[in-house]
Amino acid sequence: MKRTAFVIALIFEALWVSAQKAPGFTISHLTGDFYIYTTWQPIDGKPFPANGMYVVTAQGIVIIDSPWDTAQAVPFLDSIERRHHTRAIAAFATHFHSDRTGAYAIFQKRGIRTWSGCQTKTLCIERKEAVPQYCFTADTTFDFGDHMLQTFYPGEGHTKDNIVIWFDKEKILYGGCLVKSAEATGIGNVADANLNEWRNTISKLKKRFSSPTFIIPGHQDYEFSSFGSYTPFDY
């Protein structure tokens, strides 16, 4: 009887440990050539998701941000290149934290050009995060043939360097960690935040991109398309 109880206890322990382990990564189709990918890291003992995005262009795959779980970077790249029969050519980081830049050294070894704002690159060097190869000093438009990507710095919020990325033809706003999901129950990591300016920064974002079709936050659920529902916080 004691042996049976011991075996049952081991089974329950194994199931609990398995439940705490995050999935490797997931990829969801957003619209057209756009896809959302998600990886996880443990927060308070539970897997917590981080979103990134990629778009398949005529020139190759363009990735926004980085897998948070860097162990998934190579499987992720292999998967999307196999799936779309083209290679990843460029990646853009929306701020300096590791959930945005963590796999950039791996990307660079694959010949992927890594970009960020110059403020982000400087902070990556200072904080010993993975460093993008190239940077831009002002809002910049990148032309990838059938898709154009615009970077926009609305001001300080989650970090002092956070930018967003806009695809005008499709009206897709990738907000990164500056934008909080309606699913969020807290404001998240504020170690590098400017809580006094966050409200003003979001106001600038709303004025600049007033009617997005999709808004993608850095974490949690992204299935919404209006600023009215994009955040539980009164910024």
Catalytic residues: 95, 97, 99, 158, 189
Q: What are phi and psi of 2, to 5 degrees?
A: -65, -40
C-alpha to C-alpha distance for 219 and 184, rounded to whole angstroms: 8
Q: Which helix H or strand E contains 62, and what residues bound it?
A: strand 61-64
C-alpha to C-alpha distance for 86 and 170, rounded to whole angstroms: 22
CA 100 to chain CA centroid, Å, is 6
The full DSSP string for 36-54 is EEEEEEEETTEEEEEEEEE
